[in-house]
Amino acid sequence: MGPDAIFSGLPGDRDTASLVLDAAERLVQTRGFNSFSYADVARELELTKAALHYHFATKADLGEALLERFAARFASALDRIDAKPARAPDKLAAYADLYLDVLRRDQMCLCGMLAAEYRTLPERMQVIVVRFFNDNEAWLTGVVERGQTEGTIDGAVSPHDAARSIVAAFEGAMLIARPFGDVAWFQATAATVLNGLVSAASVPARGQ
Amino acid sequence: MGPDAIFSGLPGDRDTASLVLDAAERLVQTRGFNSFSYADVARELELTKAALHYHFATKADLGEALLERFAARFASALDRIDAKPARAPDKLAAYADLYLDVLRRDQMCLCGMLAAEYRTLPERMQVIVVRFFNDNEAWLTGVVERGQTEGTIDGAVSPHDAARSIVAAFEGAMLIARPFGDVAWFQATAATVLNGLVSAASVPARGQ
DNA sequence: TTCAACCTACCTACTAGTAAGTAAGAGGTC
DNA sequence: GACCTCTTACTTACTAGTAGGTAGGTTGAA
């Protein structure tokens, strides 16, 4: 479904700046922002550290560019889900697949990783991380609301709370599934959470 | 309820090794394992780095000791919950309070933080982190099972899956609530998740 | 007098970041 | 089409500072 690499930037552009962002992104999502260095990226791209500083003067600039690109790509992934006519549970499943794609590459969600490191991040990066979670919450709230209107989502839960529990569960499931090296851990947990939100009326039996 | 500081080691012992662990623990839970240094701890305790190396020869040793102490303290916190006669939903609420206590200090769960940094950790630390999540899962599975037997937890969900969704949601909620600087974010999300597991039969109305 | 618990003084490796220089090319002018 | 200027995308060689870690000496109490 949809083009691959929605979360992680597989090289579409071939210009150096994009390649730097690609490498840095992968490093952040596997090791963390504080646990990779310009030297790591330089080695990988067979450039010098100074060349990287030419494109991104400081590590904070690099991090910011990373987040901006990620936010744009993520927003368009949500747009793509919105574009298809589907009922809420299917949209939520598609949303889960975004996470799953990242986890399959043994990576953590970029903003999830940066949330852990939050207190050590440059201020402008902090702002974008918070915005990411806000946007997710808003998008999910909308999906849940429409699901309740169409009768596919349990009407007893507040859409806002439901949205929060989805982001929290998905981020947490990713965080934990990665040390376990177990993609199925994420899948089962995500399914359980989403199942709990599905309207009893719209499902014949709730047994597994 | 219960003694304070179940997650974080407020100084009970006054010996240097414990004080080092206390300081390191707080630093890990706010900044991460790779984002604090022996120099940070030394400065705080007004010691030299060499003195720290006397107590914990390497940073890996320090991290391991940190995890062992944390695991022991966490296990005894779970024992304390088990000791009180209470129904499953109350035990799960008490479990949520363990997380809440940490978050109130603007800290991340130790193992949650280390899960994010997993790929950069010394091998022996990795093993303990995974064990922590396994133990949590096992304990929660037991609570959910007993809850289903006593009729307080919805019987339709597999206890194992329910347990996983609880750990995931709590860790994720903590991860996200911290950048928001909003303890209520965690509380609302945790309540939503737990509410979703409570048996419909045991609750008169499910509205908020 | 022994020994735990330090300290001084260091080391090597790495961190982000900078200064100064350069090869290759674009764009305009005569 | 030859010359000049300016830009892009780097390089080499460096800085100050920090990382974890160590060798060897000091101190005070049992």
Chain mean pLDDT for chain B: 89
- Using CA coordinates, name the residue in chain A closest to B131: A180
SS3 assignment for chain A: CCCCCCCCCCCCCCCHHHHHHHHHHHHHHHHCHHHCCHHHHHHHHCCCHHHHHHHCCCHHHHHHHHHHHHHHHHHHHHHHHHHCCCCHHHHHHHHHHHHHHHHHCCCCCHHHHHHHCHHHCCHHHHHHHHHHHHHHHHHHHHHHHHHHHHCCECCCCCHHHHHHHHHHHHHHHHHHHHHHCCHHHHHHHHHHHHHHHECHHHCCCCCC
Res A201: pLDDT = 62
* Tens digits of residue pLDDT in B14-56: 788 899 999 999 999 999 999 999 999 999 999 999 999 999 9
B42, B51 Cβ separation under 8 angstroms: yes
* Tens digits of residue pLDDT in A9-32: 333 346 888 999 999 999 999 999
Percent of chain A scoring above 70 in pLDDT: 89
Task: Identify which of B34, B112, B176 has the shortest CB distance to residue A167.
Answer: B176
Res B133: pLDDT = 98
* Tens digits of residue pLDDT in B124-166: 999 999 999 999 999 999 999 999 999 999 999 999 999 999 9
* Tens digits of residue pLDDT in A144-202: 999 999 999 999 999 999 999 999 999 999 999 999 999 999 999 999 999 999 876 66
Strand C contact with A37 (CB < 7 A): yes
Strand C contact with A50 (CB < 7 A): yes
Residue A203 pLDDT greater than 70, yes or no: no
B36 three-class SS = coil
Q: What mean pLDDT do residues A55-71 have?
A: 94
Res B198: pLDDT = 86
Per-residue confidence at B13, pLDDT binned at 50, 70, 90? Answer: very low
Per-residue confidence at A3, pLDDT binned at 50, 70, 90? Answer: very low
| Neighboring chain A residues of B113 at a CB cutoff of 8 Å | 116
Residue B4 pLDDT greater than 50, yes or no: no
Full-prediction pTM beyond 0.75? yes
- Positions of strand C less than 7 angstroms from a protein CB: 5-10, 14-20
Strand C contact with A36 (CB < 7 A): yes
Alpha helices (runs of H) in chain B, residue ranges in sequence order: 16-31, 38-45, 49-55, 59-83, 88-104, 110-116, 123-150, 159-180, 183-197
B107, B39 Cβ separation under 8 angstroms: no
Percent of chain B scoring above 90 in pLDDT: 85
Strand C contact with A53 (CB < 7 A): yes
Task: Identify which of A117, A185, A193 has the shortest CB distance to residue B35.
Answer: A117
Strand C contact with B49 (CB < 7 A): yes
Q: What are phi and psi of A2, to 5 degrees?
A: 65, 170
Residue B12 pLDDT greater than 90, yes or no: no
Contact at CB, B193 and A165, closer than 8 angstroms: yes
Integer distance in angstroms from CA B52 to C1' D22? 12
Contact at CB, A188 and B156, closer than 8 angstroms: no
